[in-house]
Amino acid sequence: MERVILHSDLNNFYASVECLYCPAIRDKPVAVCGDPEARHGIVLAKNYPARAAGIKTGEAIWQAKQKSPGLVVVTPNFPLYLRFARLAREIYGDYTDQIEPFGLDEAWLDVGNSSSIYGDGVHIADEIRARIKYELGVTASVGVSYNKIFAKLGSDMKKPDATTVITRDNYRDIVWPLPAEDLLYVGRATRRKLFRYGIKTIGDIAVARPGMLYSLLGKWGEVLWAFANGQDNSPVARVGEEGLIKSVGNSITTPRDLQNDNDVQMIFYVLSESVAARMRDHGFRCRTVQIHIRDNTLFSFEAQGKLARPASVSTILAEKAMEIFTARYTWEKPIRSVGVRGCDLITAHSQEQLSLFEDEERRLKQEKLEETVDLLRRRFGHFSVQRAVLLQDADLGIINPREDHVIHPVGFFKGGKLP
């Protein structure tokens, strides 16, 4: 039986919720922005009048105000957005139990088993849009297709408040003319690589030789070729499955630009302490460390590396993060934002092969030491115990990411990993 996949995207979500609660600003250009005093002063979301003025997500507030001097800037209210996200998912739950969130404002639904009750995919999509508009006061765009990739493309094509259908018969006409960067996970770096070889559209990816894409992008090139040709069979997770912890991470926009390896190392220690503590709280160790780096031009990249043994010790995580960083970054630009993530989690009590080449006693002492630090911080506060290296810089040493961390959406692939 052909699958029926919907992708629902709440239009301009943060800005739409803010305008709903403040009718006086609905017809004005509005941008939801981070705190400029804490260097989170970028546009997180904007409404359609702001978009019409050329304002883009991710640009600095001062740039946005140059484009629209009358711009209304509001600070984000994440508890309110979470409430609306939950309400939207309650609506989705009336049609299926296969609901896979992709961030706060997006979700995939598999309604193939509901068609005999609620009608075909288009009817369900239209009904969901109508209910979101009537019950929540915001709008959604919904893509309908036979796989997750094309369903998401459909929800992006017509905004606001529209349903777009992509089938096996029409996807070449609808999808292939789109720019390559419209395909999920084709970022700026990948787009530039493809462009150098004359690959500008999704159709160009689809008709390219898989071997050539593999030589250009590695295994990821073959995945993009499959996506472009509609060969995505990944399932939509059932309710509850997406709640399983797949990785633990923290990221932060730093109080000042990082200028050298020493600055970055301090931030890695700060973030790794938070990540390791949270893994210990949940009873996990990680086998892979992933870093996220963004420079002051907002160019970003991710990289990861395997640990010799699973760990939940901050020193081990920070040292691995630094090893990955120094192998990838050449300091062409100062750094604005840093993230550390522990992936490939296993339970802390999983059996593992001991190594003859490691100091097992030292590792156990590190674990006991960090558990003691956890206890002291819970009792006397985060800054009751600090690494001496963090006392070198007053700005970087006062960061407490565990109480002010960024929550990232779960990735498209199982386990949150790219293939």
Which residues are marked as active site? Answer: 106
Burial string for 361-389 (b: 16+ CB within 10 Å, else e) reads: eebeebbeebeebbeebeeeebeeebbee
As a whole number of Å, the end-to-end CA separation of the chain is 27
Q: CB atoms < 10 A from the CB of 153, how many?
A: 24
Distances from the Cα of 22 to the Cα of 18, 25, 26, 105, 361, angstroms: 6, 6, 7, 20, 60
d(CA 101, CA 9): 10
Residue 252: CA count within 13 A, CB half-sphere: 26
Distances from the Cα of 114 to the Cα of 5, 67, 327, angstroms: 11, 46, 50
Sheet holding 140-145: strands in order across?
99-101, 106-110, 5-10, 140-145, 163-165
